[in-house]
Amino acid sequence: MNQQEGYADDIVKGFVIWSMVWGLVAVLVGVFISFQIAFPQLNFPPYLTYGRLRPIHTNAGIFGWGIGSFMAFFIYITQRLTRTSLWSPGLAKVQLWLFNVVIALAAVTLAMGMNRSKEYAELEWPVASLVVVLWVIFAVNIVMTIVKRREEQMYISLWYILATLVGVAVLYLVNNAAIPVSLTKSYSAYAGANDANVQWWYGHNAVAMVLTTPPLAIFYYFLPKATGVPIYSHRMGVVAFWSLIFMYLWTGAHHLLWTPVPDWVQTLAMGFSVMLIAPSWAAVFNGYFSMNGQWHQMRENYLVKFLIFGITFYGMQTLQGPSQAVRTFSAFIHYTDWVPGHVHMGTLGWVSLVLFAAIYYTVPRLYHTEVYSVPLANVHFWLVLTGQLIFSITMWIAGVQQAAMLNATNPDGSLHYSFIETMVELYPYWHMRALGGVIYLAGLLVFLYNIYQTIAGGKAQAAAQRA
Amino acid sequence: MIEKKPIIFLLLATLTILVGTVITMVLPFRWINDPKLAIASVKPYTPLQLEGRDIYIREGCNNCHTQTVRPLLSDTERYGEYSKSGEFVYDQPFLWGSRRNGPDLARIGGKYPDAWHVKHMKDPRSMVPRSNMPSYDFLNRPLDTSLSEKKMKALKFPYTPADIQALQGKSEMDAIIAYMQKVGNDIPWRKTGKAEVLGELKNPFQGNMSVLPEGQKLYAEHCAQCHGIELKGEVGPDLRDLDQPDAKVFTSVYGGIAAGGMPSFGDTLGKERTWKVVTYLKSVHRK
């Protein structure tokens, strides 16, 4: 059916498959570095140390798995919501090639130590420039498709897609401004506290424009598709959309509480972070209320399970995040393992669960077949859920324990523990985290096998039909 | 309705995200790094220090070490004077980090002698048992100086041809240690912020043999890396037959000896445990 309507779906297949490849890389490297923290002998200098591998983990996860699959679903969703074929399938093919070249180059250059040190903006300027070209190609194609659409009204997913396209562009260009020294070395254009403030304006809004608005676009599209009932309130979605993209940009400095960045910037960030609970939870309620009379689908429809657990983790994430943005609580848990626990609830819980659902929904349709195994999809669900919960909960406990130890004082006012005395207490938690990562990896492998068999089955059926 | 006009929608969305951007990201440029807030003693990096900083960036040290001391007791007591924005005006990029898998390094400059760093980089666990830091022994290779001059020019840092010449024969290890000895050391906080010990310095454990095992254990954890497990000396001097009054030994351990490279352990040990170490030290003699 899709091909008959002229939708460019081969390119969607390409992005889905490659995003899964990079997702596997991200998790493999993630599991490996979690072992490195627990067992330092596993560092193999110079290329395979924690310091060089961690940016590969984050870049493969956020940009390879995240952006790769967002590109797939933006192309998929936009065509269907506009009832229009993609503006330029040829450009999209270039985009897929360039995407893979950029991610591969990122992995190689980061392992070689070519890195700008700014979190989630580590890539040196030649690779970063390719990212800009990639994004322009992508944005033009999506915007032009929307402009020539045949469906007059733009559904809410398209709003989030448009916001993502412009948001990422602004953030990336500003934070990557650099003074090049050679092809492999550059310095940030900003200095000291300015550089820090620009970086976390970027860093936190990468969370907004990469890890929030795209999954929301996907969630708003695929939840009604999976359940067969419309979203609860379009109006609530609209209000939430504008307040979300307005408020997010004020909050970057909550990563810089108690640092030499001006106090008023920190205070604004703190206030807006707390206010963000409202639009975030509007999306959560929209998801929950859409399930009115449909909750039985949690039992019967594995897609709904992924989506509703996903939006639930989003809800928890957007309560925990603002609490961490409050000065007093930040003073306690910032710089401890609490924060990686928080981050991984968002990435593994919210973003990845929604993406898994979207892939389970689209791949069988793209290949004109059924999913290979629903029981395997359920195994996948429980494994990734268990792995992620072990990871996050362990890290929260570890963070609170270390924070308490770091703050403990003797009667004479001196500190009770040296840094290393607090650190050695973390080893058991780090072992647990590595275990959680292995369980998550097992779940991911089940997922990849299930999708591989689905695609193979679809191709075999197509070949049989042609014969 | 704007839901039907994608280009207008795009423009409105852009304006919406620009409000917070301009107020919290663009406007602060007006105040941060204002020349009025400059600290005269904070100097740009020398070519060797800058190369060291680039190695710190290359190895991703900032993934485990922060470089900001917050104005909080648990930070200032542990690391030293809190960080000020004027200290970072030459930092492109900033290296404040976001996670302390290892300790904060904002005040690492001058804390340990160079020889301590060499040993620690080579084999971190020989100096800090149960540390999970990777070994950086491979930094004992010649420093690539081909871009050094271009780097200084790119950042507009002052240098002389002699500075560049002096890089010849240096290793990457020399560079990163030169960098670390500068970090946080441009303001004279060690002298001004030095812990003042009030009251009479009298060892509460004098002649108390029962504290010797704990004193020995503390010594092995905190002191043996430099003075040797048998107190024969290595990075630091031989400590057997210490011919000094208890109060003098206490001051050296608690507050450090800046000129000799001896770090202060008051933050780490507190008074009581420092006295136990002193009692142990005084009990050890050549056979």
Q: pLDDT tier at B199 (50, 70, 90 boundaries)? A: low
Q: What CATH number has the domain spanning B209-283? A: 1.10.760.10
Residue B38 has pLDDT above 90, yes or no: no
Is residue A312 domain-shared with residue A181, that is, in the same domain? no
When scoring A194, A248, A254 by the number of chain B Cβ atoms within 10 A, the one with the most, hence best to mutate, is A194
Q: Which chain A residues contact residue B33 at CB under 8 A?
A: 191-194
Is residue A195 a part of any domain in this protein? no
Is residue A238 domain-shared with residue A130, that is, in the same domain? no
Predicted complex ipTM: 0.96
- B245 and chain A in contact, CB less than 8 A: no
- CB contact (8 A) between residue A409 and residue B73: yes
Average pLDDT taken over every residue of chain B: 92
Is residue A6 domain-shared with residue A143, that is, in the same domain? yes
Is residue A96 a part of any domain in this protein? yes
Is residue A166 domain-shared with residue A230, that is, in the same domain? no
The pLDDT of B32-37, averaged and rounded, is: 85
- CB contact (8 A) between residue A185 and residue B151: yes
Is residue A45 a part of any domain in this protein? yes
Is residue A122 domain-shared with residue A241, that is, in the same domain? no
Same fold, B47-192 and B209-283: yes
Task: Tell me what pLDDT residue B201 has.
Answer: 83
Task: Tell me what pLDDT residue B193 has.
Answer: 47
Is residue A384 a part of any domain in this protein? yes
Q: What CATH number has the domain spanning B47-192? A: 1.10.760.10
Is residue A204 a part of any domain in this protein? no
Residue B258 has pLDDT above 80, yes or no: no
- A157 and chain B in contact, CB less than 8 A: no
Interface A-B, measured as beta-carbon pairs within 8 A, has a size of 266
- CB contact (8 A) between residue B31 and residue A113: no
Task: Domain ranges for chain B, please list them.
Answer: 2-30, 47-192, 209-283
Task: Tell me what pLDDT residue A57 has.
Answer: 98
At B184, the amino acid letter reads G
Is residue A375 domain-shared with residue A290, that is, in the same domain? yes
Query: Domain with A444 in it: what CATH number?
Result: 1.20.210.10
Q: pLDDT tier at B191 (50, 70, 90 boundaries)? A: low
Residue that is last in its domain, among A189, A210, A226: A189
Is residue A311 a part of any domain in this protein? yes
Render each residue's pLDDT in chain A as its tens digit; 467 residues. Answer: 445 568 999 999 999 999 999 999 999 999 999 999 999 999 999 999 999 999 999 999 999 999 999 999 999 999 999 999 999 999 999 999 999 999 999 999 999 999 999 999 999 999 999 999 999 999 999 999 999 999 999 999 999 999 999 999 999 999 999 999 999 999 999 999 999 999 999 999 999 999 999 999 999 999 999 999 999 999 999 999 999 999 999 999 999 999 999 999 999 999 999 999 999 999 999 999 999 999 999 999 999 999 999 999 999 999 999 999 999 999 999 999 999 999 999 999 999 999 999 999 999 999 999 999 999 999 999 999 999 999 999 999 999 999 999 999 988 777 889 899 999 999 999 999 999 999 999 999 999 999 999 999 999 999 999 88
Task: Tell me what pLDDT residue B170 has.
Answer: 98
Parent domain of A225: 218-247+281-461
Domain count, chain A: 2
Is residue A183 domain-shared with residue A288, that is, in the same domain? no
**Candidate from A58-72, B15-29, B255-269 with smallest mean pLDDT:** B255-269
Is residue A138 domain-shared with residue A225, that is, in the same domain? no
